[in-house]
Structure 1
Amino acid sequence: MGDAREARGPLRIAIIGGGIGGLSLLLGVLKHCDRHVIEPHLYEATHAFSEIGAGVGFLPNAVRAMRAIDPEIYKAYCRVADQAPPIKVNNRDMSVFSNVYMGMDGRGGTNTSKAFEEICTIHNDNRFRNIHRAVFLDAMINLLPGGFKGGLVSFNKRCTNVHEVGGRAKVLFADGTSQTFDAVVGCDGVKSRVRNILHERERYEPQFTGKYAYRGLIPINDAISALGKETATTQALFFGYGGHLVTFPIDQGKTLNVVAFRGAPEWNYGGNWVVPATVQDALEDFKDWSEPVQKLLSLLKEPDKWGLFDLPPAKTFVKDGKICLLGDCAHASTPHLGAGAGMAIEDGAVLSRLLGEIKRPDATQLQRAFAAYDAVRRGRDQRLVTASRNAGMLYGFEQPEVGDDIGEIRRILSNQWDWVWDLDIEAHCEEAIGMMHRPISLNGTA
């Protein structure tokens, strides 16, 4: 008579949420796991895949994580992403990550007709960079066997609860149906239902960060008329008192993505995080800024106004080998370091590689994999939340003991991203795998 553990079917894993994080994990599981051992299925709450926002930039750590999940993701990304012009810096092949400018001319807004002043230029070694979120999502979907019709994805499935039943996880959906799995991975964003289920007694709710942003897209020729060709066709950061702007081209250089940030003591729109705004609203908020910035904002068409929220540090991303959190639902951050989506891809790389270490359908191995994922990822992910908030304060001359000291700002910017960009993802995954296989004593400690 065979071992019952050997005779059972594959471990069923529900991935809740079909954004960049959820699809990264699904593609990673398909690449690294034996389908006779791990059987994934993704559940998306809406009727189709969608990503909130327009442009997104992927930095060196993110593209290395794409390769660690599946080189095909990186190839697909390169086919549709904007290519940064290559340059030589200290005999290394680099590209411009961002040009940084002073976006206003003085605390009182004097001489606002003056063009912005350059503070510094930041470089990295990422050849391909910015992309429209929806375009990247489509590229990832095309890598699924059979696309979204290949039987690995279900739409209109909003998770409402998860119950433990007989040592497994029963997922309840808003349409009245339910499914039973060996584990559930929440990839359902900053307003995550899965996170609240995991932290049933100590809820981790998003908190307003004291900033909001206007977002919009501008045809590149119009943007060039406002900023000039050099600035409009590369990524740029504009600093000023109480706010900053980020601009970068997407759609193969046809469109400029514009995000304009301002500080506010509170967000008075109830449960709405995105509200309609007008160009006049944006111009009023940036009335003391340089003329090129004001001209750029005047070109926005029906901009949205986004409240910026992030998550306080959680004690864990996992529970009992049954529930795990990935991406924004675990560690939503502000966008000031441009690394949130990249961190979700890193999460997907590490977790999928850990799941690939499970060689037979033994549910106890899920607990080991989830525990190793939590141990390796949580500190780095949560560091981003704090560092990103601090960066937003820096850009608005609001950071204590720095203020508008341009020399000190240059010094901080010169290495601000190093810890994000320089991650060795292969060593990171190997560290997690080592933890997963570490011997455990009878009392559960390593």
Structure 2
Amino acid sequence: TANHAALIVSDDGGDHWRIGATDSWPIADDGTFRQKPSEMTMTEGADGTILVSGREQDGTDLGHRTQAFSRDGGTSFTSPFRALPDLYTPQVQGSTLRLGNRILLACPGDPDRRRTMMVRSSYDGGRTWDSVDRGTVVTTDWSGYSDMVGIGGSAVGLMYEGGAIDARDEIRFARFTEDWLQPRRGPDPTTIDRAPHAPRAAVLGGAGETDGVFGDALEFDGTDDAVRLPYRDRLPLGKKDFTASLWFRYTATTGEQPLLWMGGVGGTQPQVWLRGEPASGRLQALITVRDGASAPRSASVRTTGAYNDGQWHHLALRRGGGQLTLFIDGTSVSTADVPGSVSRNAPFGVHIGQKLDSRAHFTGAIDEVRVYDRALSDAELTGVRTTNAPVTRDTVLWLPMDRVSGSH
């Protein structure tokens, strides 16, 4: 009837034990639940606060990691476990360790599969964590469970599952010092998001300005350039109708060319994406949904051309009226919608020009990216495409992609 997480505490060196902090999450009649914190690891911060970091498995809350804090030696939690939507990792055990003014988290960095063992840092006792692009990669091989321990001085020992073929092929040991970790990085360059009360979006990898359809646009190098939106509650689209709209220009003939990615990644995680697939001669949009406790379902819609002619083209995806419709330069092709949430269970990120697992980047330019949490009318979409009409109601994100602020 519920999922429970608890700390078992000894106050006399282990001779006697008692149940300390507990947290419970009820299971609904339809079999769904918000969280199931498990495989927890504990680290004491410099102020004595205990960070309890756990694996999150199949809950409806966004994210594959969850955490809570105790300020009384494990007797109680300061608040219930909170999932971390934008901490990219698969469903897996992870390990934490305090090192100097950081707390370290070791776990795979791929949000779908157990691969790319990575060490990420928190500088505020675990309340916030470095994004995946700021982490230090131990290996890009398959990798899984881990444990960290201080081994004298400033050295850390990391024992983890890893392998070239499967995450459980071997037990590996790595030794590192703080000097090996990525140094703490200053703020990324940013670009404006015109959605109400939205913070600026991070511009990654050195993406720069180029001529656009309306004003300037951003150019992406296909290697590490992207725009990433900081997580906020308005971004997940859930079960709502929605409309996504953008301009693109590219000449690539191979590879995945991600334009817009919202949600998770992989065959089972709720998500929305639009991308070019030039080797297959098409553009494709896809949604994956979860509805209640039923298995995930997907629907996709494709064009009959890749539109990789180096010219600007307008692409839009609309969910509404039981249809999933893809528009290319005002011409539509539709398929049946699949009801359910496009943002649930999985880690959640919004990227322009990058696949969520960082394994595909766009080569070309993107302009005027908008998402609304309703189905825009045909007339509204035409206005957006032809005159860049300022549709403001129900705006989830609106990136003009005109300017980059801050140093690279």
TM-score of Structure 1 vs Structure 2, range by shorter chain: under 0.3
| Relative contact order, higher structure (CA 8 A, sep 6+) | 1
Q: Going by fraction, where is strand more abundant, 1 or 2?
A: 2
Q: Please, what TM-score do these two structures have when normalized by structure 1? A: 0.23
Q: Please, what TM-score do these two structures have when normalized by structure 2? A: 0.25
